[in-house]
Structure 1
Amino acid sequence: MPRNVRIASVNVNGIRAAARNGMGTWLDAADVDILTLQEVRGEREHLEAALPGWRIVDDKALQKGRAGVAIASREECAISRVELGDDALESNGRWLEADFEIGGETVTVVSAYVFTGEAETPAKQDPKWAFLDAMERRLPELSADGALALVTGDLNVGHRTLDIKNWRGNVKKSGFLARERAYFDRFLGAAGEPVAGQEGVGRGMGGALSDTRSFSEGRTGLGWVDVGRAAHGEVHGPYTWWSMRGQAFDNDTGWRIDYHLASPALAARASNYRVDRAPSYDTRWSDHAPVIADYALGV
């Protein structure tokens, strides 16, 4: 029997704080079937306290109080995996896959939390490059043979100028570096087709040209679909993260860095995408907003 499965993703900025500040009220109203979480920064007991009655799989970071990803569901998870790349990759608490059998079909849901990075600081930026490299290798495996797969989470990259309000001030900063955005050109490029990359979109502060073409030379697209951009088209945002400082939230000076990336087969079944932006600054329970979409399964 076909059914729409509602999948939501959110960086909770600490599960205990999110639970104290109103996450449960939002979740009760959202009617979610599968919830992916990033930056849990807590133990299994904290997830269970915040999500009573949910089935939970999680992977925490090696360093206590950092990162952490989880997938909570009303459905029984068939199998979960945390492997991404080789043993040298720092992916603990940052990549979690879960397979669900729904309506006679298997769908793989991923909760991902990409490193924030820091430009010109190799100790912080190199792990991000390695993680994005591993994602580029894993995505074709997840989507092979028409598989249904969805990568959700805080991917810490604004792909285009439409995705960051103040992009000109960030062309030299991690999160909007041309090399970072070029990965998304390849993830989202037409499958098997050469990736042209984005030509210079203008000069930001300091005269830096935002151009991803050189990083995609000789590469081909993977065919994945940015469900949010497909739903909203060529508009600014809608943003998913705002700094807690200043008037960023009130002025909607945000970044769209939280995604639903769907395999081609699943993307065709997506509907009702939305960003659940809090109605006011004082009602926020995270610095990120949940990203939600419905997916038709068992068709």
Structure 2
Amino acid sequence: MPTIATWNVNSINARLSNVLEWLGAAKPDVVLLQEIKCQDAAFPREAIEDLGYQVATYGQKSYNGVAILSRWPILDVVRGLPGEPGDEQARYLEATVDGMRVASIYLPNGNPVGTEKFAYKLAWMERLRARAADLLESGAPLVLGGDYNVIPEPIDCHDPKAWEGDALFRPESRRAFRALLHLGLVDAFRALHPHEEHAYSFWDYQKGAFQLDHGIRIDHLLLSPAAADRLVACAIDKEPRRRPKASDHTPVVATLEDRP
């Protein structure tokens, strides 16, 4: 059964040993990476290809950047979220793997609220909704995975009161996330674990947040009906967050039944 993971690695070159170790142990079939923080030429392609993956990247110097790793050929690549030709931030990469359309998404943070950064976040989410609606029309399996920088519900953070007013938890952000779900997309983790608490994918580096489990769930795998029908498992793998020099995010992994 194929597995697909999303992971904000917070600099692929700074975390390369951790990434290679996890890929070798977990052996996911498709991996959607965010915040690779390097230009395409600086991506450690050879080291990852040596593990049996094909690689597609959309990077930029020092910031952002997304990638797709796949054990199958990566076809029909789209670099950048359609809808705003002037947007040069490397936050969206889309392709077809094994008959499934996938996208690696690094959604804008949006802080501070009340600035152009929050307006950009909401506009970007509307563009994402429009793109998702177009992709869903085909009826083919679709997985939109990544760091959404959205805490969907109070259960998805350790201390909801502390996040009030933050762009990740603002009603506007959560409403835009629900708009994606209302298209028919399914949050893979919550579909299988609707009431699970302390299910976080990000812990700040400060104040012992990981050790205290003061986290938030902002990394999501959203599945179309054709993909959700094949969903058999979805888990948050905390082990990489325990490693030295870890990313502040950890992988979320979904398992799908084989294609009929």
Same fold (TM over 0.5): yes
Secondary structure of the residue that 1:249 maps to in structure 2?
helix
Aligned pairs (5 A) from 1:113-132: 113-132=106-125
8 Å Cα contact 2:198-2:213 kept in structure 1: no
Cα RMSD over matched residues? Answer: 1.7
The answer to whether the 8 Å contact 1:6/1:293 transfers is yes
Shift of the 55–142 alpha-carbon distance from structure 1 to 2, 3 Å rule, reads same
Residue in structure 1 matched with residue 21 of structure 2 by the alignment: 25
Change (3 A) 1:284 1:226: farther
Task: Give the whole-Å Cα distance in 2 for the aligned partners of 1:293 and 1:5.
Answer: 8
Paired position in structure 2 for 1:176: 169
Q: Does 1:52 align with 2:49?
A: yes
Matches within 5 A, 1:193-212: none
Which of 127, 148, 154 does residue 147 from structure 2 map onto? 154
Residue equivalent to 1:134: 127
- Please report how far the alpha carbon of residue 285 of structure 1 lies from its aligned counterpart in structure 2 after TM superposition: 2.2
Q: Deviations over 1:194-224 (max 9, x none)?
A: xxxxxxxxxxxxxxxxxxxxxxxxxxx2111
Query: How many angstroms apart in 2 are the aligned matches of 1:31 and 1:280?
Result: 17
Report deviation, 1:295.
Answer: 1.6
Counterpart check, 1:78 vs 2:75: yes
| 3-state SS, counterpart of residue 90 of structure 1 | coil
Q: TM-score, normalised by structure 1?
A: 0.81
Q: Which 5+ residue runs of structure 2 have no aligned equivalent?
A: none
CA drift of 1:176 comes to: 0.2
1:94 aligned residue: 91
Secondary structure (helix, strand or coil) at the match of 1:124 reads helix
Cα offsets for 1:66-121 (capped at 9, x unmatched): 00000011111121112423335636310110112x3xxx2101100001111434
Moved over 3 A (4+): 279-284
Query: Identity of paired residues, percent?
Result: 30
Partner of 1:273: 234
The two structures have a TM-score, normalised by structure 2, of 0.93
Bigger Cα Rg: 1
State how far apart, in whole Å, the 2-side matches of 1:283 and 1:9 are: 20
The DSSP-based 3-state class of the residue aligned with 1:139 is helix
**Structure 1 residues 125, 88: closer, same or farther in 2, change over 3 A?**
farther
**Runs (5+) with no aligned partner, structure 1:** 189-220
Partner of 1:11: 8
| Contact map agreement 1:250 1:281 (CA 8 A) in 2 | no
Structure 1, residues 248-285: CA drift from partner, whole Å, max 9, x if none?
10111101000100011111111221111027745462
Match of 1:202 in 2: none
**Which residue identity lines up with residue 56 of structure 2 in the other structure?**
V
Q: In structure 1, what residue type is equivalent to 2:257?
A: A
